[in-house]
Amino acid sequence: MGHIEKLKKLPPDREKVETVKILRQLSKSSQSLGELKGIAKTIPNQSMLINAVVLQEAKDSSEIENIITTQDELYKAIASQGKQPPQVKEVINYRKAIFTGFELIRYQGFLRVKDLETIQKTIIKNNAGIRVMPGTVLKNDKTGEIVYTPPQEKDEILDLLNNFLEHFNNNQTDLHPLINLAILHSQFESIHPFYDGNGRTGRILNILYLIINDLLDIPNLYLSSYINKNKSNYYKYLNQVNETGQWEEYILYMLKAVEETANYTIEKINQIKNQLEVTIEKVKEEAPKVYRKELIELLFEQPYAKIEFVVEKLKVERKAASRYLKNLKDIGILKSEKIGREILYLNTELIEILSRTI
């Protein structure tokens, strides 16, 4: 174990990454992903879901580092202006990093080494950048045994990263982008260009790669939840690629991750859309005076609302905003909670949907 030859540049041998099993799984994965892309387009207000979904992805991805925070605790902590515990900060930073990457892709359509550094820096909050000091090795969590030694020299790291980016930015092969996604992810993790945050940066790159390739319009796939739930296989298969050059099981794993999480996200979006409808109807019926479409949509942009959000979005006075939220609370749509000097209004049904595993 642990004996590995030098990390090879992309692309790998075609026959290793395009087996019959892989192609069979591929058609299922790309069908699910296509459905997700389609359904996301039917959401009335695009920004409405992104926040909630991205926050979920951020939470799941960060949880890989053993962060235990319940959903509503997390939302409350995020919304409050007080001092935040480090785990909450991490989730917030991860979410910020997804949006930073999304903006880069939308704005320039490709990523450079310095963009990778920007994304990683947003997560990790230090300026170390690409590794320059040798000594980084990957160990088995439990046994402490070294399982993989990534390239150590900065020049080699940069050389491999540039090769990685050439393939990331433009498909250099005619392999299906979902197969490339898996290959690129393994390559990035194996280059392991940073001292820390390689996993989280790599998981953000996965989503951005889907957007570059038009497989998604917005960052709305909960890929990390699958990796989180099936972590030991994830490590096992990554290891296998590095040790034996066997890609099949690893690629199948990643394709299944795409299929399952796409299906899961479709289901979530349907539930959220449905809940939005139910909420609109209820407000129209039970509190017609405060009914505003934008107000209800606001309650679905983040699972919590504050008076100032309403002031900003609806361009109304504080007093009116406060009254709207109180009315919604009275008819049971929101629950209020006092955090410090602020009142937070939680969309409990939405939080319930977001926390539910299907």
Ligand X SMILES: Nc1ncnc2c1ncn2[C@@H]1O[C@H](COP(=O)(O)OP(=O)(O)OP(=O)(O)O)[C@@H](O)[C@H]1O
- Footprint on this chain of ligand X (rule: CB under 6 A): 64-65, 138, 147-148, 189-190, 196-200, 202, 235, 238-239, 242
Say how many residues make up the chain. Answer: 358
Selection from ligand X, Mg ion, none that 36 binds (CB < 5 to 8 A by kind) is: none
Q: Are 46 and 276 in contact (CB under 8 A)?
A: no
64 is a site residue for Mg ion (CB under 5 A): no
Strand partners, 336: 345
| Rounded least distance, CB 106 to ligand X, Å | 24
Rank residues 196 and 217 by Cβ distance to ligand X and give the closer one.
196
Residue 84 CA, distance from chain mean position:
21
| CB of 18 vs Mg ion, minimal distance in Å | 32
Nearest approach in angstroms of CB 138 to ligand X is: 5
Nearer Cβ to ligand X (145/294): 145
The interface partner of residue 219, options being Mg ion, ligand X, none and the CB cut-off 5 to 8 Å by kind, is none
**Is the distance from CB of 74 to CB of 339 less than 8 angstroms?**
no
The one-letter amino acid at 307 = I
Q: Name every residue whose Cβ is closer than 8 Å to that of residue 203 and which is 6 or more positions away in sequence.
A: 61, 223, 224, 227
69 vs 302, beta carbon nearer Mg ion: 69
Smallest gap from Cβ 148 to Mg ion, in A, equals 14
Say which residues have a Cβ less than 8 Å from residue 173's Cβ, sequence separation at least 6: 11, 14, 167, 180
- Least CB distance to Mg ion at residue 197 (A): 6
Residue type, 60: D
CA gap 110, 121 in Å, rounded: 18
- Dist. CA 51–CA 141, nearest whole Å: 32
Q: Does 196 bind Mg ion (CB under 5 A)?
A: yes
Total residues contacting Mg ion by CB under 5 A comes to 1
**Separation between Cα atoms, residue 60 and residue 63, nearest integer Å:** 5
Looking at the Cβ atoms of 197 and 303, the one nearer to ligand X is 197
- Closest CB to ligand X: residue number: 199
Residues of the shown chain interacting with Mg ion in the complex, contacts defined by CB under 5 A: 196
